[in-house]
Amino acid sequence: MRTSLNTSGFLYYAWVIPGAIFAFAVFLGFLKFIKALPPKTKRLFLTAGTVFVGGAIGMELLSGAYAELYTHNNFTSAILTSIEEFMEMIGIVIFIYALLSYIGSELRGLNLNFKITALQL
């Protein structure tokens, strides 16, 4: 994709272009749903999405610029990749918290029971 689009610098990893377009399209598609959420849940959903996409696309932009200038097989590149993955995981954790918080505040009559049984071999 990089060679066909002739990208470099921050766009060294060219997948970020369709990735950003896709993320924005998903955001627009869910905008009505997000607006209907309670304020706390809305804020947490938007925070989770921003942290996740910021990690996935934002850090990939920085990593691409670094990889083009230097290389992607060194300690600094590993740190950038680790930050990217950490931001994605934190975004997912925030999203899970938002869902559980919503369930706890809005669905008071919901009871869930889990039974874990031993595996028979």
Please state the pTM of the whole predicted model. Answer: 0.81
> How far from 35 is each of 6, 23, 30, 41, 93, CA to CA, in Å?
38, 17, 9, 10, 21
Residue 114 has pLDDT above 70, yes or no: yes
- Each residue of 8-18: pLDDT tens digit? 778 878 888 88
Helix spans in 36-118 (H): 39-53, 59-69, 75-106
Domain boundaries, the chain: 2-105
